[in-house]
Structure 1
Amino acid sequence: MSDLQHTPLYAFHLDHGARMVPFAGWEMPVQYTGILDEHLAVRERAGLFDVSHMGEALISGAGAEAFLDYLLPNKIAGTPIGKGVYSPMCNSTGGVVDDLIAYRLGETEFLLCINASNTQKDLDWIQQQLCGFDCSLEDVSATYAQLALQGPMALAILNAVAGVPEGKELQVRRFRVLETEIASIPCLICGTGYTGEAGVEIYCHHGHARQLAGVILDVGEPMGLTLCGLGARDSLRLEAGLPLYGHELGDDITPTEGCVGWTVKLDKPGDFIGKEALLAERQNGPKRKVIFFTMSDRRIARAGTQVYQGDTLVGEVVSGTQSPVLGCPIGSALVDAQVDVSALEVEIRGKRFPITAKQPPLHL
């Protein structure tokens, strides 16, 4: 794994007994004590994740707002300073190049958080679209470290780490950004996450990452905080019904097909990339749809497993795992839009097993 990149917390992970694996060109912790324990810790108490492998890009200049409204199908114009907007980023056919969060840091400055597996592809794509707009793109991925503090106890731990007096607790609302210091470390605290739980994602300079993680762990561990790896992050997001690029979203999967159609604002002023294709989809209806499901059998339907309605092949599983909360397999599938979701089966090793379509979050 010598050619893999390392986050600023690489030594921290080794010191705390993490099992490291390759992921999107990085060597990352997949687990510490175990995926089941880490998953349940986030659902019941709190977990701390290193997500410093995610990419960050700065869009700045007088035309930044107008450019992002053209680049993304969601509405960016009018977003107040200190607020984030989730959006897919589409190609001309309506497929998803990636999904991201755009945080407005100032009148003419936006910070984009993009997926680690797509960072260079996204940067290249964004650069290609800049022509004619009065703004610039800067890759700031190497500047930032990012920690995700997630779970019912996350905000209590954050306030304990910040040392704020009672009655003056930090209030970080959903998709809001708070610029402050934690343990004398300048941070951007964002009311976002990828677990379906309350919590925050904290950006700091990469040089402060180990100090910040150490302080959060020292203060949070007595309050039930657990270090968590990528394994729990994936099972948590699937239980919550949150899409992942390369699974529920992709270059040939539209936002509507991928269950984030609510982000497409066809009535916003002006043009945006993919608008014509997405407008046609709205008029004619999507050809496919992502569904989430549970299974009563112990076998897990992994990505690529075929989905049938009777003897007709109607799609395939795009994500599958075991739900630690439900104690049964769960998954998502991309299927024909017109199928009867109450009569679907998956084929595993030549045998058919029924799946039960459910609206996420699956664990509630």
Structure 2
Amino acid sequence: MTETRYTPLRARHEALGASFTDFGGWQMPVRYTSDLAEHHAVRQAAGIFDISHMAEFTVRGADAAAYLDYALAGRLSAMTVGKAKYSLLLTDGGGIVDDVIVYRLADDDFLIISNAGNRDAVREALAARTEGMDVDVVDVSDAYALIAVQGPAAERILTETAGIDEISVPWPAQKYYSSASATFAGKPLLLARTGYTGEDGFELLVAAADAEALWDAVLAAGEKHGIVPAGLAARDTLRLEAGMPLYGHELSREIRPAQAGLGRVVAVDKERFVGKDAVAPAEGARVLVGLAAEGRRAGRAGYAVVDADGTALGEITSGALSPTLGHPIAMAFIDPSSAQEGTAVFLDVRGTRIPATVTALPFYRRKK
């Protein structure tokens, strides 16, 4: 029996009246008040998320960059210090073990953040690829907490958060997919300008023991800016609107990167990397598309996508009534013959066919 896990912020969530759900073996806040209110707060002001269930791995040593070029699908050695890169950990057969973000903290010092449910699989895959390399890969997940502050007011809130100091890169100079070192109450803090909502924002990596104090400080600074605690339900509709994949839905060991629209992430010109020989999808393999519908009935994961004759074209992987757009949206893997933008299809919603149109991803882009 798998042990139920809690983040260092459990007491804060309980005090705020959060409802919890199991997510990858962790009890995580699914909502505090209203899914819609939390979603809209992130789009209009800011939300604070506990994402401490995510897994962290340090990669250090003289061969760290070369090792990551071999272990992952991207060209991580090309990153400059202070930058971050989205990448994929592939199987020998070209499927996806996990999608990760890699941060280059120094020439021979990297940080990988992976999904909570894949922690063991990522640890095992990374360890198996170190042979012959001067590199040390360590799972440091239990030592840290991760807090996301997302929304148009995120930067303003963090600049006013008491205790954040000694920032290595001035706030305006911190670009998307970069990181800066800082301190909180005199202790190390990593500021990463990344996120999973489609909005501007930061992910703050701090020692687990300091998580509650940081959470409290951010909430206090954000009160006048409209910040709200936000749970997994809002995080899911936000990432869906932004067209961001979720492992177990749009990504799996059976899916090749190009099928999921992630061919650009794979540096196919590298001399070698795990999965290179099998990364190309089979001819005719289903591909990921966006679907937009009218009305209020949304297709959900597992619902069929069919043509006018009722012939199966594919299956929805994620779907919801978009809080921002006001109509149903979904991502689905469908036959490439029907994947062209503008193609009319139908969603089989509990026996009722709902007209939908293939549309480009993402569904939502924030205003710059």
Note whether the superposition's TM-score is higher than 0.5: yes
- Structure 2 partner of 1:317: 316
Q: What TM-score do the two structures reach when normalised by structure 1? A: 0.94
Aligned partners of 1:52 and 1:145 also within 8 Å: yes
Q: CA RMSD in A?
A: 1.9
Residue 185 of structure 1 and its aligned partner are, at CA, apart by 4.0
**3-state secondary structure, aligned to 1:338:** helix
Aligned partners of 1:309 and 1:340 also within 8 Å: no
- Structure 2 partner of 1:207: 209
Matched, 1:230 2:232: yes
- Structure 1 partner of 2:84: 84
Post-superposition CA distance 1:199-257 (Å, at most 9, x none): 11010000000000000001111111111001100000000001111111111111111
- State how far apart, in whole Å, the 1-side matches of 2:184 and 2:44 are: 24
CA 1:2–1:128 in structure 2 vs 1: closer, same or farther (change >3 Å)?
closer
Aligned partners of 2:48 and 2:149 also within 8 Å: yes
Residue 84 of structure 1 and its aligned partner are, at CA, apart by 1.0
Residue 170 of structure 1 and its aligned partner are, at CA, apart by 5.5
Matched, 1:355 2:356: yes
Post-superposition CA distance 1:296-323 (Å, at most 9, x none): 1322211111111233211100001121
CA 1:143–1:84 in structure 2 vs 1: closer, same or farther (change >3 Å)?
same
CA 1:159–1:171 in structure 2 vs 1: closer, same or farther (change >3 Å)?
farther
- State how far apart, in whole Å, the 2-side matches of 1:172 and 1:292 are: 31
Counterpart residue identity of residue 147, structure 1: I
Matched, 1:60 2:68: no
- Structure 1 partner of 2:329: 330
- State how far apart, in whole Å, the 2-side matches of 1:35 and 1:149 are: 17
- State how far apart, in whole Å, the 1-side matches of 2:339 and 2:226 are: 43
CA 1:202–1:351 in structure 2 vs 1: closer, same or farther (change >3 Å)?
same
Q: Where in structure 2 are the equivalents of 1:210-359 lying within 5 Å?
A: 210-268=212-270, 270-278=271-279, 280-281=280-281, 287-310=285-308, 311-341=310-340, 342-359=343-360
- State how far apart, in whole Å, the 1-side matches of 2:284 and 2:62 are: 36
- Structure 1 partner of 2:98: 98
**3-state secondary structure, aligned to 1:271:** coil
Q: What TM-score do the two structures reach when normalised by structure 2? A: 0.93
The percent of aligned pairs where both chains have the same amino acid is: 40
**3-state secondary structure, aligned to 2:260:** coil
- Structure 2 partner of 1:121: 121
Residue 184 of structure 1 and its aligned partner are, at CA, apart by 3.5
Aligned partners of 1:58 and 1:110 also within 8 Å: yes
- State how far apart, in whole Å, the 1-side matches of 2:277 and 2:334 are: 23
- Structure 1 partner of 2:36: 36
**3-state secondary structure, aligned to 2:13:** helix
Aligned partners of 2:182 and 2:191 also within 8 Å: yes
Aligned partners of 1:154 and 1:200 also within 8 Å: yes
Post-superposition CA distance 1:2-54 (Å, at most 9, x none): 94111010001011111111111011100111110000000000000000000
- State how far apart, in whole Å, the 2-side matches of 1:212 and 1:340 are: 45
- In structure 1, list runs of 5 or more residues that go unmatched: none
Which piece of structure 1 moves more, 286-295 or 325-334?
A: 286-295
